[in-house]
Structure 1
Amino acid sequence: MEISTSRILRRQLTPEEKADQTKKLKLEKDKLETEAASKIKRAALRPFIKYQGKIFYHTELIDMAMVCDNLLKKVSESEELLVVGFDLEWPFDFQSGSGRTAVIQISPDLNTCYILHVSKIKYLPKSLSDFLEHDKVRLTGNNVKNDARKLARDFTGVNGDKLVQNCIDLGVLANSILPTTHRWSLEKLVNYLLDLRINKSKMVRNSKWHIIPLSPAQQKYAAIDSHVSLLLYVTLKEKEKDKEDDQNTLNK
């Protein structure tokens, strides 16, 4: 049976219906963004996130190399990707700007943080470079690609392109999973996903990271940054799985 063009046209949305649909979608988006903004504004009432895991602080090249040898062995024996929380610290001066990378933090799990104080060494241990550039390693953090590029600029022998390929940026991941999009900072992600605050004390953040040894406050600050990066990644992946499960249920 031949179907007339007029009948096909009648089944299409009218301009008024299209406008109504667009309006509903915009209202829903505005509602989600308002809720997200409201949640972030309530951040001042939330407690600070705490790290109760182990901190392994190393200042000697031989000790750093041994840590990275063990991490390399772990990832080489695994059949799965190893996602690690990753962060850097460096001194900053308002006149001279950013200094050379002084501290590297690696959290291979939620209960362990390795703090490598590299301010006094010229070259990174090869096992550290090999680990960070390994095909089965992924480095996660907020704006983590910028950290990867800085590390490559500061230390000869680090493959910046490979490091960037291994990065999982938390802000990009969040925008692909969450119902609202933002220019996420680490603080905003902690507020939104964990309902907590992260302590970004200027006294510690702007301290002299190149001086050995780090104070207990500096070590705790550094550990929290890489720990929370991994925790946020795990939380986002759980939300992604829940989202996929809900979609599969709807499709049944």
Structure 2
Amino acid sequence: MIHLPPLSGSPRSSLSATEAARWAASDAKILAEAGYDAIIVENFGDTPFFAGRVPPVTVAAMTACALAVREAAPNATLGINVLRNDAEAALSIASCVGARFVRVNVHTGARVTDQGIVQGEAASTLRLRKALGAEDVAIWADVDVKHSSPLGAPRPLVQEVEDLTKRGMAEVVLVTGEGTGKGVDVSKLAAVKKAAASAPVLVASGATLDSLSTLAQHADGVVVGSALRLGGIPGGSIDAALARTFATAFRTAFKR
């Protein structure tokens, strides 16, 4: 996961889109050299996030960064995540830059978050994907998404996973802890894996060197961000040594 710096138009922005793109390219080169399978470009620095649609300046800046990543790491699969939950922007960027998947934090259902109520728009997202001719862009969707709680009474986790994959047509299911960098509950992960049937399940927060062997028993892979930064602190540039060490440990744990 490339945690982009605050982009043009966001409250803490200090870099131009060109400078942010150089940042992204630098991280991408490190990941490519370490042999990572996929790279996700995410506007991590744009807090506080919009609950839904982001402004055009964010889409423009993220497109510039995604193109820089594509050039720096042409052999890595590219993904887009527009925080907090702008699937329309993510799909639009993906279709223009040749990305192969988008992450959607709330694809089905509704959650109470620090941005307010975030509601899934699977119907609109899937129809847009069809209209763009982007059926080859997979949807990676979170279940019981971090930094949120259910709107109303919690539903059985198994039912949430089934709705996400069958009714919401998500191709990949992401499992997280309670927040960025927080580890997953292994029993929850195992339950999601069982309910997801043939859909791949990835751990999407809190993966560490020490937890990889355990996670490999219940997941098909991991999305890693914080563990690639010094001190495990999210944001900032990726550390090359940590990235190489994590990649080697992952291949050992997941037998790849």
- When normalised by structure 2's length, the TM-score is 0.28
- Higher Cα Rg, which structure: 1
Which of structures 1 and 2 has the larger relative contact order (alpha carbons within 8 angstroms, sep 6+)? 1
More helix by share: 1
- When normalised by structure 1's length, the TM-score is 0.28
